[in-house]
Amino acid sequence: MANPSYKAPSRNTYDIVIVGGAAIGSSTAYWLSRTLGQTASILVVERDSSYEFSSTALSTSAIRQQYSNPINVKISQFGIEIIRSFPELMAPFYPNEPAPDLGFREHGYLYCCSPEGVEAAKARVDLQRSLGAGTVFLDPGALKEQFPWLNVDDLGGGSWGSRDEGWFDSMGLMNGFRRAARLSGVEYIDNAVTGLDLANGRVVSVRLATGETLACGTLVNAAGPRAQQVASMAGLSIPVRPYKRYSFVFASANPIPGRMPNVIDLSGTFVRPEGELFLTGNTPQNDGPADYEDFEMHYEEFDEHIWPALWHRIPAFDALRVQTSWTGHYEYNMLDHNGIVGFHPTVTNFMFANGFSGHGLQQSPAVGRAVSELIVHGAFQTLDLSPFSYERIPRNEPFLEEAVI
């Protein structure tokens, strides 16, 4: 890394080293700094400080409460709380300029439901409402009345998040956490972790691409799609791999009237408004783990899979023109599509914060807080994320969540 502007670490020993400085890593750094202040030395190692290829930057930046498991609903509710209060939360760190507003678009999610899936969908809605969510189930007639541009002929109905769901500024969230952490004493360096040294069941040092070796008290793996790469440096394994997801922004010859939600079709294709344009993507089939550096775009995904699904569900989408597109990586947990949060049982200072499978951004406020609580207190203090613990991985016991995309 022959970078003339490279800034070396300020010390040789750190109490906490966080590998990865995007949403999960910077949220963790923020919550640690709130609890510990400058009484602990904290280093965030980010391999690309431009964040150009980070999952945070390339995400679709949405948040929902429509899950089948209570803990996932509660995680998102805390995320909404943070998003809404972000300007006030960040105000102390922006003394001479307005604190960032994350531009929350509270349009909701609309999950289309097949006739066969109605009972399960209604049960999820009942669960979500019991936890305070604003989800409602609409039968086909009510769905057509609420969203007249929707083809409901093959639907049994749909679940709609009437409040506290939508999309927001992903980089605003991450940059706010990052700025607050740095101003609270957390150190960030643009570097890559290339190795870990272990002794007596603990990570004792971190090796960097620039040749430095830093002593380490606690190691946090927040490396996103590269999570397994970091885990393997400690002789560990998790079923987390990078999976490509293709996003397209398009213009439509026909506008969609009213307040359009983020529509999730039966096919897995989603679409939502983005100003005068629309953002869409899907869950590609047979698109196995990607190389860490593979961001090649598959443009045919739009014509062959996405557009037919869009046109079927929203007939007004008969004349579309793609304006821009990009490829991002999900840090895909192949066991159960849910996060892994907690210390390893034998490498006792190795903390996982990985495998969120496309939900990491919306879950980052609660996950960062939970990781901080485990490090500082040795136990969860607010939300109990123990169902996400590493121990389920070797037992091959999935954490069941029906509402994954």
Q: Check residue 1 and give its pLDDT.
A: 43
Q: Cβ–Cβ contacts within 10 Å for residue 141, how many?
A: 10
Q: Check residue 2 and give its pLDDT.
A: 47
Structural contact between residues 341 and 367, judged by C-beta atoms closer than 8 angstroms: yes
Structural contact between residues 317 and 252, judged by C-beta atoms closer than 8 angstroms: yes
Start-to-end CA span in the chain (Å): 38
Structural contact between residues 247 and 358, judged by C-beta atoms closer than 8 angstroms: no
Q: Check residue 5 and give its pLDDT.
A: 60
Spatial CA neighbour of 40 closest among 31, 48, 49: 31
3-state DSSP of the chain: CCCCCCCCCCCCEEEEEEECCCHHHHHHHHHHHHHHCCCCCEEEEECCCCCCCCCCCCCCCEECCCCCCHHHHHHHHHHHHHHHHHHHHHHHHCCCCCCCCCCCECCCEEEEECHHHHHHHHHHHHHHHHCCCCEEEECHHHHHHHCCCCCCCCCCEEEEECCCCEECCHHHHHHHHHHHHHHCCCEEEECCEEEEEEECCEEEEEEECCCCEEEEEEEEECCHHHHHHHHHHCCCCCCEEEEEEEEEEEEECCCCCCCCCEEECCCCCEEEEECCEEEEECCCCCCCCCCCCCCCCCCHHHHHHHHHHHHHHCCCCCCEEEEEEEEEEEEEECCCCCCEEEECCCCCCEEEEECCCCCHHHHHHHHHHHHHHHHHHCCCCCCCCHHHCCCHHHHCCCCCCCCCC
The residue extents of the domains of the chain are 13-58+170-239+336-395, 105-165+244-333
Residue with tokens 């009213």: 258
Structural contact between residues 118 and 156, judged by C-beta atoms closer than 8 angstroms: yes
Q: Check residue 198 and give its pLDDT.
A: 98
Token pair recorded at residue 26: 């910077």
Q: Check residue 219 and give its pLDDT.
A: 98
Domain 105-165+244-333 has CATH 3.30.9.10: yes
Q: At what angle do helices 170-183 and 23-36 cross, to 10 degrees?
A: 30
Q: How many residues are given for the chain? A: 405
- Quick: pLDDT tens for 134-163: 999 999 999 999 999 999 999 999 999 999
Q: Check residue 29 and give its pLDDT.
A: 98
- For the chain, list residues with pLDDT below 50: 1-2
Q: Check residue 286 and give its pLDDT.
A: 66
Give the separation between CA 44 and CA 20, rounded to whole angstroms.
7
Q: State in words which class domain 13-58+170-239+336-395 has.
A: alpha beta
